A and B are shown apart, each in its own frame.
Chain A
C-alpha cells in the first residue's frame, strides 16, 4: 500500500514531520519550505546532509503517488513567488473543501469562482458576488454573513482580496486546476507560455493571447522591445520584474500586501 514499489522513495521521520507540518500550514512559500526542511533534519537527523529540496520533494512524492496526493509546486500569479502545497489529485470537485465549509458556504465559493473565471481581469467584485447570495443552496445566507464567509476564504488562502475584488489564491489554483478545467472547459483561460491555468495575467490587445505576469517577466527579461510571441505586435503592458528571492531577503521584512505579516512569537 506504500508506494515504494517502483521508485526508491523511502520515508523517514524527517519526511514524515515535513509532511505533517506542510499539511498543517496548507500552503507555504519556498523560503518557508526550505526552513521547514532544515527544521525537520535538525529534529530527526541532525548530522545528515540536507538533501536538495527538489530531490527531497520528489522522493516524498514518489511515495505519495499511490495515494493520489502530491506536493505540488506553483507560482503566485501576481508576483511570481514559488509556493508549495500538499494537494489531492483525485478530482472530487469543490467537495475537496467540503470538510471545511457548510453547503451554502461552498456554494458561495462556487459562485465566486465562476465569476472570477468568466471575468476579463480575473477578479470578481464583492458586490457582484454578494448579489448572488439569494441563489445559494442550503441554508439562507444574509449578505453580511456572506461578507464574513468571503473573509474566511481569504484567511484560509482560497481567495485573495484586493480593493474590494476577489481572485483565486495560488493555493486554490494549485489544488483545483484540474477541477476548474473539467468544470469550465470553455471559460477557462491558459497562459501562452507555460500553458497553465490563467486567472490573472496580461493579454495581447491584437490577438488576445494571455500570459501570466511571472511568465511575462521571464519571457521578456532584458528585452528592450517586447513583442507578442503569437502575432508579433508590440506588447503594450508594463513588464514586471522577475521574482528574486535573494533581493527579497535583502529588502527586509514585508514587501507587498500579499505577504502575511511576520508576527513575532508571543
Chain B
C-alpha cells in the first residue's frame, strides 16, 4: 500500500509493540497486519453500511466506485485526496522540514484528534489536512504515523481509519475491552444512559423504533419532547440531531405513512462502539431482570460476542488466530 499512494496515509499503522494485550473495540479489525492484507483487513467489519451516506457533517464525498476492500480503492482515495486538495503542480518538491517541525505537527495532530474525539465529532481526514497538517501535506504519512505512535504509547488509543469511503478516522481503545467505563462521572454518563435507553429499545424491537415509542420510553425518565431538561437541555434536538450527527442514531421518515412519522435506527457509530452484550447488561440493570428474559436477543448477543472474540485474538500474534476453536 505504501508503494501506491503518497498522499493518503497508511490506515493501519498499528504501533502497539509495547502492548501485550492489544484489543480493539468491537467492530474494528484488530492487530497489525502485513501491508499486503491491509486492504483485506479494511474490508472487514469496520466498514459502516455504505448504502446510506454516513458522514452527515461532511460535504458530499467523492464516491469510489470499486469495493472498499480493493487495493484499487486505496489508489482511488489517493487520487481523490490529491484532487480534493490543491491541484498538484509541476514544482520541484520543497525542502523537507526540520524533524522538530514534523514532531510539532504530530503533537498538534494528536491534540486535535483527542479533542475531536472528546467532543464525539467525526475525525475526517481532509479536515485533519486542512486544520492541522496544512503545508506539510507531503509528509502527512510520517506525521500520522508519529501521532498514532504517541497516542498508542501514552494514551493507549489507536487511531484507525474506520471508513476508507468517507475517510473517517476514529480513536479506538487499545486496552482490554471493558463494559462502558461505568465510573458514573457527571457529564458523560447521562448522555450515554439516554442513548443506551433508545438503542436498547431499538434492539429489543428488532427493527426501527417509531418516535412515539421512543418518547413513551423516555417518559419513564421524565423526559418530554416539549420540556427542557436540566441536564439534557432540548431532548428532542439531542436525539434527533446531535446523536444523529454523531452517528449514534439514524432518524428516518417511515415510508408511505401520512401524516409523516419518523423512526430511529442504530447508527454506524453505535454498531461500532457498543456491543449487543452491553445492551443486554444495560437492560438487565434497568429492568432488574436476567438478560435471558429476552431469549432471542440474548442469543444474538452471545453470537456477536463469540464472533468478536474470534475476529480479535487477545494474544498479540500478528499471523496467528488464537480463537477458542
Contacts and interface: CB of A to CB of B under 8 A. Distances in A.
Contact of B149 (A1, A13, A36, A262): A1
Q: Is chain B's binding surface mostly helix, strand, loop or mixed?
A: helix
B270 to A, nearest CB: 16
Given A26-B118, A28-B185, A266 B175 contact: no
Contacts of A262: 186
Interface in B178-228: 178, 181-190, 193-194, 196-197, 221
Interface in B127-181: 131, 146, 149-150, 153-157, 173, 175, 178, 181
B181 A265 contact: no
A261 interface: yes
B241 to A, nearest CB: 12
Interface string B93-124: 00000000001100110111011111101000
B175 A98 contact: no
A99 B175 contact: no
B125 to A, nearest CB: 14
A59 to B, nearest CB: 12
B233 A20 contact: no
Contacts, number: 104
B contact residues, range: 35 or more
A43 B183 CA distance: 11
Nearest to B153: A2
Contacts of B118: 23-24, 26
Given A25-B187, A263-B190, A99 B116 contact: yes
A67 B154 contact: yes
A133 interface: no
Contacts of B188: 24-25
Nearest to A9: B154
B186 A90 contact: no
Nearest to B178: A43
Identify the interface centre among A11, A36, A43, A99: most chain B CB within 10 Å of its CB: A99
B230 interface: yes
A21 B156 contact: no
A16 interface: yes
Nearest to B110: A67
A263 B157 CA distance: 28
Nearest to A99: B115
Interface residues of A, number: 40
Contacts of A242: none
Contacts of A155: 233
Interface in B4-39: 21
Nearest to B111: A88
A100 B186 contact: no
Given A16-B175, A260-B186, A99 B154 contact: no
A263 B221 CA distance: 11
B286 interface: yes
B279 to A, nearest CB: 13
Listed residue (B184, B185, B196) with the most chain A CB atoms within 10 angstroms of its CB: B185
A218 interface: no
A265 B193 contact: yes
Contact of B186 (A13, A32, A63): A32
B183 A35 contact: yes
Interface of B: 21, 103-104, 107-108, 110-112, 114-119, 121, 131, 146, 149-150, 153-157, 173, 175, 178, 181-190, 193-194, 196-197, 221, 230-231, 233, 285-286
12 contacts: A16-B155, A20-B173, A25-B187, A32-B186, A64-B154, A67-B154, A68-B107, A92-B108, A260-B187, A263-B231, A265-B285, A266-B286
